[in-house]
Structure 1
Amino acid sequence: MAIETTALTSAGLDSAPGAAVEGRAKIFEMTQAAEEAVLRPQDCGPWSHELRAALAARIATQNNEHKLAAQYGADAGAFAALADPSQDGMAQGLETVVSFMDKVAADTRNVAAADVSALQAAGIADADIVRLCELNAFLAYQLRVISGLRLMKEAYA
């Protein structure tokens, strides 16, 4: 059984390494479905698929997951510059969003109500703040899965 997902590919596993992954095929399928739901939802609100891809690439870059960043960055279109963590989002009018996403991704323990209030003050609706948090939460999960897969790959090598 060949299982192909973003997580497996990013971990350097072109195909599932034996029974260890195949026995968890449903988890990988659900992870891939979650990726689709978060990065390419039918109702994306104000966060286009391209912007979501750029933010995902940015988070992957911040976590030194360059293969994953390149994969997401390829779908970033007009927002490709935001995949670069040195960009602050000002050119796109997204500095508040970029600052929030960076903090949630890299300094989660220090995210406070004031950070959400800053988004609300910038005119971002609560449902759209939740969408940003879902994207960040999914990337945190996916990055951990990729890291675990690499460890498993080393154990099987």
Structure 2
Amino acid sequence: MGLDTTALRGAGIDADGAPGGAVEARAKIFEMTQDAEEAVLRPQDPGAWSHGLRAALAARIAAQNGEPDLAARYAADASAHADLADPAKGAAGRDLAEVLSFMDRVACTTREVTAHDITGLQAAGVSDADIVRLAELNAFLAYQIRVMAGLRLMKDVYA
């Protein structure tokens, strides 16, 4: 299997095993998923959210969803924002408290997110375009984590 994606590595899919063959048949989906990761984590126009901060937020979301290996992968790219990758830590000394609160809420209790959460970000000076960027990051991580869970189930079936 020539594919090397975050989701496949995270799920422990081996190119030589039966799941590898099933994945190869759907290679385009995994290539597009990897392209989406690039677009969300390292976009040409990051807006207010640097690539390092995006990586820290992605690590934080992965950790909150029980994906420590994925969290470590993203935390490695967090640079100056590495401390924010830990969900137990806040935005000490930074103007990101509202952003972290929003990201944590969306990642952990999505059904409880309301318009008030958005107006809180706006009141903190976050532009609408940057709110969309935060939502995109959270949505991608939710997708990626679910893909990895499905791949692990598939791997177990073939084991």
- State the TM-score bracket (shorter-chain normalisation): over 0.9
SS in 2 for 1:60: helix
SS in 1 for 2:120: helix
Q: Which residue of 1 is the match for residue 60 of structure 2?
A: 58
Percent of residue pairs identical: 68
Residue among 19, 28, 52 paired with 1:26: 28
Aligned AA (1:5) = T
In the alignment, is the contact (CA less than 8 A) between 1:8 and 1:15 conserved in 2?
no
SS in 2 for 1:91: coil
Distance 1:30 1:101 in 2: 24
Give runs of aligned pairs for residues 27-106 of structure 1, distance below 5 A: 27-106=29-108
- Residue by residue over 1:18-61, the C-alpha shift from the partner in whole angstroms, topping out at 9 and shown as x without a partner, is 33101110000000000000000000001000000000000000
In the alignment, is the contact (CA less than 8 A) between 1:89 and 1:98 conserved in 2?
yes
Distance 1:15 1:4 in 2: 9
Residue among 107, 110, 124 paired with 1:108: 110
In the alignment, is the contact (CA less than 8 A) between 1:4 and 1:15 conserved in 2?
no
Distance 1:112 1:32 in 2: 30
In the alignment, is the contact (CA less than 8 A) between 1:53 and 1:76 conserved in 2?
yes
User: What residue ranges of structure 2 are gaps of 5+ in the alignment?
Assistant: none
Q: Which residue of 1 is the match for residue 2 of structure 2?
A: 2
The TM-score normalised by the length of structure 1 is 0.97
Distance 1:79 1:14 in 2: 32
- Residue by residue over 1:104-133, the C-alpha shift from the partner in whole angstroms, topping out at 9 and shown as x without a partner, is 010000100010000000001000000000
Distance 2:20 2:122 in 1: 48
Q: Which residue of 2 is the match for residue 118 of structure 1?
A: 120
With a CA cutoff of 8 Å and minimum separation of 6, indicate the structure with the bigger relative contact order. Answer: 2
The TM-score normalised by the length of structure 2 is 0.95
Distance 2:84 2:142 in 1: 18
CA RMSD in angstroms, aligned pairs only: 1.1
Distance 2:69 2:90 in 1: 22
In the alignment, is the contact (CA less than 8 A) between 1:4 and 1:14 conserved in 2?
no
Q: CA deviation at 1:91?
A: 2.5
In the alignment, is the contact (CA less than 8 A) between 2:14 and 2:20 conserved in 1?
no
SS in 2 for 1:105: helix
Kindly tell me the number of residue pairs found equivalent between the two proteins: 157
In the alignment, is the contact (CA less than 8 A) between 2:62 and 2:141 conserved in 1?
yes
Aligned AA (1:15) = A
